[in-house]
């Protein structure tokens, strides 16, 4: 009898394992969208704001450029009912989340939401621990397309087990949902995240005020320091599984144009998810131009799905390469200094992977949108302070 029981248990276990998986064929290029936290945090987020952001994503050309997710971060939930189902904060979202998701979908966009693997969210709202199935069922019912899943109040929990539990619940609920693991890189999610989610945070939070580098303010990190933390992780990224150095800070609290351009360029080179965090309703023309730049977005969204990597490091001056489809190559000259950098580019001597002097590439300056000759000749460039030049090399 014990043997028969053991066989039944084993058979159930194998059957469960065989059906436990993430949704495939999602996030084949890095997800693009907008998240509420950087501009509105907990106090400012509400139903009206989310609707207006969806409107602005369409009206300001972001949807046309490829942005598609409108994601509510923390503070939309307030409790649980007697059956463990999540209760929406009716003061902030009087029409309910299903109605809001329907509104976002009516704009031709996709809808995202937030929860936490622990007992509480980072803002102290109800987390999903112990209620994974109820939450997954609810998200499916509401029409959720994207879930950001945080890692606060998780003392004693195993990260792989906790994220896998929600992955399985989402799959069982039946609605394809992009699963964003916001685990902050504490347990090296790049080593196991591919089978669990579609993207995973590699670091603590970006400094939402757009500060550059040099310090870590509590849990907030300057954007160029985040770039450093991506070095060596390129082998883990690809279609359906991306390293995530956190949301964009473009347009937040007066980030200078040069740094906004450099920050955005590096996220594109890194094949990073592009989740804007600024107020889309009031962004200026410069930030709008940066966020919707066609040439850089083509680098980020390239179907080959390769993350860029550093090929030259001269201290405050770096050169990065990103392989692209059709044999094209993106090259980014990143000046981290406070002074302009003059540099003579000898294409045969900067260690470009899979580059041969026998192949002549045409050079296009992506930010200037102009051709710059070809790689048969050296090129003298000036890269302004804390700025970039990005070239696309094509045969």
CB 57 within 8 A of CB 21: no
Q: Which of 74, 205, 302, 328 is catalytic?
A: 205
CA-to-CA separations, 180 to 145, 247, 311, 339, in angstroms, rounded: 11, 12, 29, 38
- Phi, psi (5° rounding) for residue 318? -130, 155
Q: Which of 74, 116, 145, 150 is catalytic?
A: 150
Does 244 qualify as catalytic in the annotation?
no
Does 279 qualify as catalytic in the annotation?
no
CA angle 203, 209, 210 (to 5 degrees): 65
Active site residues: 150, 205
């Amino acid at each position: 009898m014990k043997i028969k029981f053991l066989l039944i248990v084993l058979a159930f276990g194998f059957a469960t394992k065989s059906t436990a998986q993430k949704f495939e064929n999602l996030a084949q290029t890095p997800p693009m969208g907008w998240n509420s936290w950087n501009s509105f945090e907990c106090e400012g987020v509400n139903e009206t704001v989310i609707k207006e952001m969806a409107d602005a994503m369409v009206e300001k050309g972001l949807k046309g450029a490829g942005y598609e997710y409108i994601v509510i971060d923390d503070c939309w939930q307030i409790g649980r009912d007697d059956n463990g189902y999540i209760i929406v904060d009716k003061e902030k979202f009087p029409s309910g989340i299903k109605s809001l998701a329907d509104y976002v979908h009516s704009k031709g966009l996709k809808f995202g939401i937030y929860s936490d693997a622990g007992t509480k969210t980072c803002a102290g709202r109800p987390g999903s621990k112990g209620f994974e199935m109820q939450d997954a069922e609810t998200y499916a019912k509401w029409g959720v397309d994207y879930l950001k899943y945080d890692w606060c109040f998780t003392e004693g929990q195993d990260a792989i087990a906790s994220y896998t539990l929600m992955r399985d619940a989402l799959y069982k609920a039946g609605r394809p949902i992009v699963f964003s693991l916001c685990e902050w890189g504490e347990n090296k999610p790049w080593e196991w995240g591919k089978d669990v989610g579609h993207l995973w945070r590699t670091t603590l939070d970006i400094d939402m005020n757009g500060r550059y580098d040099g310090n870590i303010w509590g849990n907030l990190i300057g954007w160029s320091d985040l770039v450093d933390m991506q070095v060596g992780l390129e082998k883990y990224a690809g279609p359906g599984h991306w390293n995530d150095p956190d949301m964009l800070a473009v347009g937040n609290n007066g980030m200078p144009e040069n740094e906004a351009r450099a920050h955005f360029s590096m996220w594109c080179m890194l094949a990073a998810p592009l989740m804007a965090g600024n107020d889309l309703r009031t962004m200026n023309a410069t930030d709008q131009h940066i966020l919707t730049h066609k040439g850089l977005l083509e680098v980020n969204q390239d179907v080959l799905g390769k993350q860029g990597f550093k090929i030259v490091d001269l201290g405050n001056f770096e050169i990065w390469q990103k392989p692209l489809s059709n044999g094209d190559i993106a090259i980014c000259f990143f000046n981290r200094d406070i002074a302009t950098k003059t540099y003579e580019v000898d294409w045969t001597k900067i260690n470009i992977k899979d580059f041969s002097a026998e192949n002549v590439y045409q050079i296009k300056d992506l930010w200037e949108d102009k051709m710059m000759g070809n790689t048969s000749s050296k090129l003298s460039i000036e890269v302004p302070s804390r700025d970039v030049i990005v070239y696309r090399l094509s045969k």
